[in-house]
Amino acid sequence: MNADPNEVKHMSEADVLILVDEQDNETGSCEKVDCHLGAGKLHRAFSVFLFDPEGKLLIQQRNNNKMLWGGYWANSCCSHPRLGETTHDAAHRRIQEELGAKSELTFLYKFVYHAQFGNVGSEHENCWVFAGHFDGTLNVDPDEIADWRFVTPDELTAEIEHNGDQFSPWLKLEWERIRADFLDQIV
């Protein structure tokens, strides 16, 4: 993928993220890498679930060079809003940057979770979950994504049940809630 100087800059380890409390009130800011070291600092994040016209979900395998959960399968797109950026705008920005996709996104819910990745660091996030539909060609960023595929909801559920250690912790948590409360409204 050739870098276009006119494109919006992708997330980097030095990006400044939004620190929040359990109720998602802003409490400050911190560089991305520092938010994820040790036990992590609670910060705002988002996850996007994109479905194709047949109701299949786009999942991605995170690039192996990721600090946390490299090589694991995750939802269509996940990231963080930057300081001064709305979460909704950040979700749209990142699906364009990571996937080359555009979609109307519907906010589903948000939740707080904490997951430790060995002795490397943690995700400690107040995560907003969005869903949308996509019908087009993807242009994935190989710096972010090692592989990607579309799966039916039943296929994803079965894969998580049989090979859960191959999936990111946030995907497993979010998918459980989506299946229980939102799937019939989305697909």
DSSP-assigned letter for residue 166:
G
CB 133 within 8 A of CB 187: no
| Contacts of 82-86 spanning 24+ positions with Cβ under 8 A | 82/11, 82/15, 82/16, 82/17, 82/18, 83/16, 83/17, 83/18, 83/29
Could you say which of 97, 98, 125, 174 is catalytic?
125
> If you count them, how many residues does the chain have?
187
Angular region, 176: left φ>0, alpha ψ -120 to 50, beta rest: alpha
Distance CA 75, CA 112 (A): 17
- Give the DSSP H/E element, type plus range, for residue 135: none
Cβ neighbour number for residue 119 with a 10 Å cutoff:
6
Is 125 tagged catalytic?
A: yes
Is 35 tagged catalytic?
A: no
Distance CA 42, CA 26 (A): 10
Could you say which of 78, 97, 123, 144 is catalytic?
78
- Give the DSSP H/E element, type plus range, for residue 5: none
- Give the residue numbers marked as catalytic: 78, 125
